[in-house]
Amino acid sequence: MPEITSSLFWIAVLQIIAIDIMLGGDNAVVIALACRKLPPEQRNKGIFWGVIGAIGLRVAMIFFALQLLALPYLKIVGGLLLLWIGVKLLVPEDDDHESIEGGTTLLAAIKTIVVADAVMSLDNVIAVAGASHGSIVLVTFGILVSIPIVVWGSKLVLTLMDRFPMVITLGAALLGWIAGGMLLTDPAMPGVVAKSVPYANYVFSIVGAVLVVVVGKTIASRQAPVAAQDVSAPQAGQK
């Protein structure tokens, strides 16, 4: 674990915050949908306790993920999953929030927030575990700092993503960077690999970042003409 006074510690914290912002933008939407049927005087309570419950559950999930990543081959699996998550970040997806039901009671709304966050957070858990270098202190600190940003600053973040697509590309590249490092540091990875490749950690990380961006952009560019045809087909049928 990096010392709290070292630059590595604060770089890891910034990575965790960036991951939570990039992969947690939907959390604010889930919270709003879960609390929309509550009386106005209970909505703030629903948001507060829902966020507290989601934070606690996510820290617990990441704690167990850190233990599992110490086993051989699981960092390799986690790294490959993280590469795919980074690629998916660059590929447009349909909105699937219609399945989030609003709770009519405070307890129901809190339960909806916590359960939905747990279901949606697998990508977040893997990415944060990879960036934390095995430190639950880093995990907890990074999440505590980033959750308010995600919840109350999500509209700003989403606006920036819409106006500046490079933000999404950089976020996907960050996931690829972390994935490359995870692959190299798996206990099953032969030590000769790191010794035979100069600056192996940087090489693996850079390759992971480039791979995610190239594959993601390629898939997105191929899907764009198909999506355009799907939109124009009904219009042509109406003429």
Angle between helix 40-68 and 136-163 (nearest 10): 120
Angle at 116 between CA 112 and CA 120, to 5 degrees: 170
- Looking at per-residue confidence, does 25 or 15 come out higher? 15
Q: What is the pLDDT of residue 82?
A: 86
pLDDT tens for residues 60-70? 888 888 888 78
Q: Does residue 77 register a pLDDT over 80?
A: yes
Q: Output the CA–CA distances (angstroms, integers) from residue 69 to 34, 158, 181, 206, 208, in the order listed.
A: 33, 31, 13, 21, 18
Of 11-20, 50-59, 133-142, 144-153, least confident by mean pLDDT is 144-153
Query: Could you tell me which of 78, 61, 60 has the C-alpha nearest to residue 69?
Result: 78
Q: What is the phi/psi pair of residue 12, to 5°?
A: -65, -40
Residues 102 and 35 sit within 8 Å (Cβ to Cβ):
yes
Q: What is the pLDDT of residue 156?
A: 64
Distance of CA 72 to the CA centre of its chain: 24
| Banded model confidence at residue 166, pLDDT cuts 50, 70, 90 | confident
What is the rounded average pLDDT of the residues 168-186? 88
What is the rounded average pLDDT of the residues 84-100? 70
Q: What is the pLDDT of residue 207?
A: 95
| Banded model confidence at residue 56, pLDDT cuts 50, 70, 90 | confident
| Banded model confidence at residue 127, pLDDT cuts 50, 70, 90 | confident
Q: What is the pLDDT of residue 226?
A: 60
pTM of the predicted structure, to 2 decimals: 0.71
Q: What is the pLDDT of residue 158?
A: 58
What is the rounded average pLDDT of the residues 143-156? 66
Q: Where are the alpha helices (DSSP H) in the chain?
A: 7-23, 25-35, 40-68, 74-90, 106-120, 122-131, 136-163, 166-185, 191-196, 200-238
Query: Could you tell me which of 123, 135, 226 has the C-alpha nearest to residue 171?
Result: 123
pLDDT tens for residues 194-229? 888 888 989 999 999 999 999 999 998 887 666 555
Quote the radius of gyration of the chain (alpha carbons, Å): 20
d(CA 70, CA 182): 11
Q: What is the pLDDT of residue 12?
A: 84
| Banded model confidence at residue 182, pLDDT cuts 50, 70, 90 | confident
